[in-house]
Chains A and B, each alone.
Chain A
Amino acid sequence: MADETDAACQAAAPGDWDRRSVLALGVGSLLATVLQGARPAAAQSAQRRATLVIGLDISDATGLDPVRVYQYSNPLPTHAAYDCVVTFASGDAVNLKPALATKWEYQPDGKTVRLTLRDGVKFASGKPVTAEDVRFTFARQLAIKDQPWQYISHVEDVKAVDPHTVDIVLKDPTLPLMTIIASPPFGITEKALVEAHGGTDAADAKEKDKATEWLNQNSAGSGPYRLVGWQRNQQIQMVKNPHYWQGPPGYERVLIRHMSESAAQLLAIQRGDVDVAFNLIPEQIATLKDDPNIHVVGMTSLDFVYMAVAAAPSNPALQNKYARQAIGYAIDYDGIINNLAGGKATRPVTFLPVGVNGSTAELTKEIGFKEDLAKSKELLAKAGLPNGFKFQLAYGNASIAGVGYQTLAQKIQADLARVGIQAELAPMDQVNMRTMYLGGKAEAVLTFWNPPAPENWLWSSATINRVAKRVHWDVPAEVRQLVADAAAERDLGKSAELYKKYQAAMVDAANHFVLIQPIYQVAIRKNVEGLELTANGWMAELGKAKPA
């Protein structure tokens, strides 16, 4: 029946078919028109040359108001828009450099830091940067009490002594300050502009301050670029600050394009639609080796992937220090770095990344854990567990610098099996894992640490307080004293010595095994020069980049 219908219908087909093919042709030519000239020599246009386009996953950013900046990607634009009183040069996470302040000195009372401000610095608005602006910035931060505030909660008061001098008074002068306020959340904001948009530094600012919405779309700083728009999950737009105190920046505009997929970033940098790609994984980096237009720059981060092993109440074996040390000596660290991370990583002794004061890769060889199966077996015997033991290793479904936790966990499982330790793998979603770990319910986890600022105390105090609780470490009084002394010591050399002792104590406690400190690989097109990458928390010095 149907065939008959077909035959009958086909008889009359030609005219009809012609119409359809005309339609198809129409759709095709419409498509061609749409696409035609859709790539208007974009890469060559003058406007394009004067714009620095950065490909970056910015989906984590929840705000660009400095007092609320605490995620991973938003420090980059925040640092470009705001200057802090002091800063760190790229590649140096130890020695502070002057920025808006030319001098900072502890006063004889021991608890006041006096800042002397640089002359002639203007905000992007053209108004001068004054002591009152600095005071307002910190007062607003202290009153709003959003997350970055915790790092300076030991500040008692900030006073403008005269237009060029600011005093910061500390409640607890043994805690560090200057290294912390070098980070983007402490960028100096222009008081008049912030107040004009609802900002306040009054005691009730937590409820009353309304400037965040405006500061998410605009900036009020003195940095090389000025924020002019943020379309969430789409892009962050900045324009040149003509008043920048270090001379006009190299680009008219900076665009940070949200690209969550590394494969899309790869295509975009190959095609020249972006100039810098931050989130490429090692296999993609490898494909860029022979690209004449792109160079790949490595940046040793201050982030690291570590395994925390708790003295868990649920597992008697893990409560034995020697058993945990046995884990530390059974891991093939070089294999992890060379094979899993493609050699693009280093490894610190413990919870202080290589590059900060008192932590070097050489020290790891000296006092850190290393692969030594005989020693591991010896320790197991000493723990009374010559045949090994079992524990559960939890990890999330994520990857860092191209290394998936899953792969890493399997590698560790295989390594530990060589001495009879059985790691039972427990993959779970990231949120679940974090909830379990923070609640002190995990036996062992693979996770990640990234610092808000290159200040040793931020790591060391975490390990003896909140992180100690998670791993059920009953911190000895002398270790607590060591951490306090190291933080209070203002002489860098002396504090480095104290931090070495701290690291040795951490190795002995054997609750943390740092596995990978990534050397991030960033692809930059050769038409950009002077772009300095930094590990100090804001990824790059955009102010120094210019067209080649």
Chain B
Amino acid sequence: MIEAMRWMLWREIALAMRRKTEVLTTLFFFIIVVSLFPLGVGPEKETLSQIAPGVLWVAALLASMLSLNRLYAEDYLDGTLEQFLLGAQPLALLVFSKILAHWLLTGLPLVLMSPVLGMQLGLDVDSILLMALTLLIGTPALSLIGSVGAGLTLGVRGGGVLLALLVLPLYIPVLIFGSGAVDAARTGVGADAHLSILGAISVLAALLAPWASAAALRISLD
């Protein structure tokens, strides 16, 4: 079982490494969206550093959501997904590996890129580190929750926009606590509570989302 999970993880990463553009596109989307805000709001450093946590989190949300359809779409089209469903290994565990790979390829690059963007937006060092930490704890939840939506919209008309409608409302708690942590630290309340809740959301999502995604895939491939 562990073997199958590890195999799935390597397979996903190997597939993505052969087509690096997809991974890089998500990252550049993140960078572009963040760069649009100073152009739209104005270059005042005060304003920018004020809205920076929210901007980074919203951009991360959108980037993560847009990369979701590559989670199952290709395996669905070439029939691999059906083999996974028929196989002896528990589908939820395979799905968990796929989600983990998805996070390593889309979530983690965002976390690593966020300090640079935070600097651009004029955040101080403490806020930048905290920001990266919230993204590190929070983005796995985005991949996990999103995989349920990706499974449900598989092969559905207008899947992309529908996916946004399904998944973004469920992302909101992550957004609130993720960007709220930096604000809480600034006002001196301390970010511990926010980080704990964010961690709790991720853990809960890790527990439930693979099963829900597996159920969604079974419904979609019925």
Report whether chain A binds chain B: no
